[in-house]
Amino acid sequence: MLKYKLLTVLLYLSASIAFITIAFILICSGFIFLPLFYIFVKPCCRLMMSSLLVWPKIKGEFPSDGTYIIMMNHTSFLDVFIFPLIPKGPWTGITAIENFKIPVFSTIINRIQAIPIDRKNREAAFNSIKKAENVLKQKIHIGILPEGTRTTDGKMKVFKKGGFHMALNTKTPIIPVGVIGAYNFKPKQRWWIKPGSIIINIGKPTNVESYESLGVDGLSNSVEKSIKNLIKDIN
């Protein structure tokens, strides 16, 4: 354990340098020409993770056409670097309103029109979902972590329903994604990290129109099962 703690201190220093570098690249590219941001963000996220000795591997294939809502399990702070590796084309996400107060990071998420959501304010959360529906109409993928917060024990939390309302309202297919390895890297309650590989398993799109009769609960249960199966498939 001691070796991991000592290694963590060194890796946090290297990651700080990497973060400053990629933040500069992404902010500049985003403000010069937004499509450049989407070109640079994938290698930048890989660089960030490699600075922490984390090696992401992707299973499955993201569709090259259509617009999708992407849902994956929420296990680590690394998810912010994992998600950009998944979609093809322009994307944004629904993220906690607190993230818009983080220096530098807030500049990036504002540039890609990320949608803030206040989990404590039901009316504000409803308005956020409506804004996200308008973004989908612009042919921009939206990423959602349906658990809302990171797991504290490695098990998936109960899914919030907002994203599923959005999917049914807009008839947008959902792509489930199962991630394993990020929790072992750094659980929420532990400060030190354990380097290793992370597997990102991209599932097949869920046709939400076939769930209209089952409603939000039926769709939510199906996607939750799909993500669990994707995680199980990795193991």
Whichever domain contains 172, its CATH number is 3.40.1130.10
Which residues have C-beta within 8 Å of that of residue 38, sequence separation ≥ 6?
89, 90, 91
Q: What is the mean pLDDT of each run of 10 residues along the chain (235 residues)?
A: 90 95 96 96 98 97 97 96 97 96 95 92 90 96 96 94 96 98 95 96 96 94 97 83
pLDDT of residue 105: 95
Residue closest to 225 by CA, chosen among 211, 213, 212:
211
- pTM given for the model: 0.95
- Assigned domain for 16 exists: no
Q: Is 163 among the domain residues?
A: yes
Report how many domains make up the chain. 1
Bridge-based pairing state of the strands 69-72 and 141-144: parallel
Question: Three-state SS for 86?
Answer: coil
pLDDT at residue 231, rounded to an integer: 96
Residue-range definition of the domain harbouring residue 196: 54-234
| Diameter of the chain measured on Cα atoms | 55
Q: CA torsion sign, 122 to 135 to 46 to 12? A: negative
pLDDT confidence of residue 55: 97
- Determine, yes or no, domain membership for 11: no
Answer whether 201's CB lies under 8 Å from 234's CB.
Answer: yes
* Tens digits of residue pLDDT in 137-155: 999 999 999 999 999 999 9
pLDDT of residue 233: 86
Q: Per the domain annotation, does 5 fall within a domain? A: no
pLDDT digits (tens, 9 = 90+) for 84-97: 999 999 999 999 99
In this structure, is residue 110 part of a structural domain? yes
Q: Is residue 168 part of a domain?
A: yes
Domain membership of residue 220 (yes or no) is yes
In a domain, 42, yes or no: no
